[in-house]
Amino acid sequence: METKKMFIDGKWVDAGIGETRSIINPFNQEEIAVAAEGNESDAKAAISAARQAFDNGDWPNTPAAARAAFVRKIAELIERDKEELAELESLDTGKTVEESRGDMDDIAGVFRYYADIGDKDGGEIIDSPIPDAVSKVVHEPVGVCGQITPWNYPLLQASWKLAPALVTGNTLVMKPSEITPLTTVKVFELIEEAGVPAGVANLVLGAGNTVGAELSTNIEVDLISFTGGIETGKKIMQAASINVKKLALELGGKNPNVVFADADFETAVDQAMNAVFFHAGQICSAGTRLIIEESIHDKFVEALVERVQNIKIGSGFDDDTQMGPLISAEHLAKVEKYVEAGKKEGAKVVVGGKQPEDPALQNGFFYLPTIFTNCTTDMSIVQDEAFGPIITVETFTTEEEAVKLANDSIYGLAGGVWTNDIVKAERCVAKMRMGTVWINEFNLYFPHAPWGGFKQSGIGRELGKLGLEEYTETKHIFHNLKPEPVNWFGE
């Protein structure tokens, strides 16, 4: 099996000390690829290439329209290779191919969006406090960017970082999750094919505590953009303080989905399932905390249980599969641990709560879609991000109580409200402390809407214009056209 290589300074290379890692299919634990396993030295080589390309190369001063043309070309190549990329993503993550095809459309859309807006910022002339002067504000690239991505949406998360960094003239070193590097490797082939100059975009494969830690601590890196778990985010924040790197952190979520009795019942049930069981709950914005008005609790849970039992679990490559496996044995063990803790704390499993018994699924990391009732807000199953196919159900009787429950979390990534009372809906979302709130919707995101978290869900925003601004420094240039002595200190 040919080893997947790293891309450093325009060349495909093995790890310096020749180490490799097996990439495993979570559906059956078979080896699907072997990838180079880089370490701190490989990361240093990539950082040095990116530094050189930024300090001495043409990329930062290339006209934005020309950089945008490269980014648009990458979008076209992703569209051309969509099927191959989608299948690779499903092999690596276990998600359904249909879902991966949707991801690839979204990813091409992200590159297109940033190609479209990347050359529109001409800076700004601001008023000068003295006559005969020009005062202007311009945006410049930050420099060398370290970009670290997670395993749940490997290429989607990479696209949110690559496209805005490139179009604004930065150079970068990306480190994908060591579990799911395959589509990112493929997209770096497309970046090369698009003709992006050597050293501008570099790829290092390997573990978080080696390659990731080097990116976070290396003083040649000016910005770290990280998507992943809250504990890793805290470590990166600390490491990045070494040279006061710019930080963009997209961390976890434990997202409330509030359903009022006056909501459209069937739609709310349907979307409550979509909000969580898509990609087996391994979504940062999954609506795992279902908060239902007490008067409809029994009917709602009954309807959910009936539908959850029919979710078709299996290989992402089978047309009728609706939910694939979890990503790894470690992650399955973590999900099981949370379920056991939930039971001990007094929550009641009404469906799921274990691995499937189907003999065809025994080699994969499968877990049944699970619903817990009798939940209270202090339980770990309600508070912690289990990142699996688990819904916890809490109830409320007043609007104030619903909002209080929704906000009772260290996270603040996203949340939804279901009601046909538009005034009530607006009142609720105005008080919900989250980066994205949906009314009669859940999980919808798109390239021109900013994405990110309040509270411990992160710092900064990706997507939208704000996602572009993360990759720029603002400079004020003041030009006195008629300089004269000030004479403060006499002649």
Q: Which residues bind ligand NAD (CB under 6 A)?
A: 148-153, 157, 175, 177-178, 207-209, 212-213, 216, 227-229, 232, 235-236, 250-253, 284, 385, 387, 413, 453, 458
Using alpha carbons, select from 403, 56, 392, 7 the residue that is nearest to residue 193. Answer: 7
For residue 166, count other CB atoms closer than 10 A to its CB.
29
Decide whether 57 or 150 has the Cβ nearer to ligand NAD: 150
The rounded distance, in Å, linking the Cα atoms of 386 and 478 is 52
Tokens 């992943």 belong to 228
Measured from the CB of residue 216, what is the shortest distance to ligand NAD in angstroms?
Answer: 5
Measured from the CB of residue 45, what is the shortest distance to ligand NAD in angstroms? 18
Closest CA to 7 of 273, 210, 191: 191
Closest CA to 249 of 40, 93, 387, 455: 455
By the 8 A CB rule, do 115 and 68 touch? yes
CB nearer to ligand NAD: pick between 148 and 425? 148
Token pair recorded at residue 180: 């799911």
Nearest CB to ligand NAD, comparing residues 180 and 419: 180
To 5 degrees, how large is the angle CA 461–CA 463–CA 466?
55
- Which structure tokens are listed for 482? 């008629």
In the complex, the smallest distance separating the C-beta of residue 41 from ligand NAD, rounded to whole angstroms, is 16
Q: Which is nearer to ligand NAD, 75 or 251 (CB)?
A: 251
Listed in sequence order, the residues at least 6 apart from 423 whose beta carbon sits closer than 8 Å to its beta carbon are none
215's enclosing H/E stretch is helix 213-217
8-39 burial, b for 16+ CB within 10 Å, e for fewer? bbeebbbbbeeebbebbbbbbeeebbebbbbb
Catalytic one of 40, 89, 145, 284: 284
Q: Which is nearer to ligand NAD, 93 or 149 (by Cβ)? A: 149
> How far apart are CB 255 and ligand NAD at their closest, in Å?
10
Least distance between ligand NAD and beta carbon 176 (Å): 6
Taking the complex as a whole, the smallest distance from the CB of residue 215 to ligand NAD amounts, in Å, to 7
Rounded to the nearest whole angstrom, what is the least distance from the CB of residue 327 to ligand NAD in the complex?
Answer: 8
Phi/psi-derived region of residue 24, left when phi > 0, alpha when psi is between -120 and 50, beta in every other case = beta
Structure-block tokens of residue 376: 């209270």
Active site residue 428: no
Measured from the CB atom, the residue of 64 and 213 that comes closer to ligand NAD is: 213
Please tell me the distance from the alpha carbon of residue 186 to that of residue 85, in angstroms, as a whole number: 8
Which CB, 149 or 315, lies closer to ligand NAD?
149
284 labelled catalytic: yes
Minimal distance, residue 50 CB to ligand NAD, in Å:
17
DSSP 49-114: HHHHHHHHSSGGGS-HHHHHHHHHHHHHHHHHTHHHHHHHHHHHH---HHHHHHHHHHHHHHHHHH
Q: Which is nearer to ligand NAD, 236 or 417 (CB)?
A: 236
Q: Are 438 and 256 in contact (CB under 8 A)?
A: no
Dig out the tokens for 491 from the structure.
């002649």
Q: Which of 37, 214, 250, 385 is catalytic?
A: 250
Asked if residue 146 lies in contact with residue 221, where contact means CB atoms within 8 angstroms, the answer is yes
Catalytically active residues are 250, 284
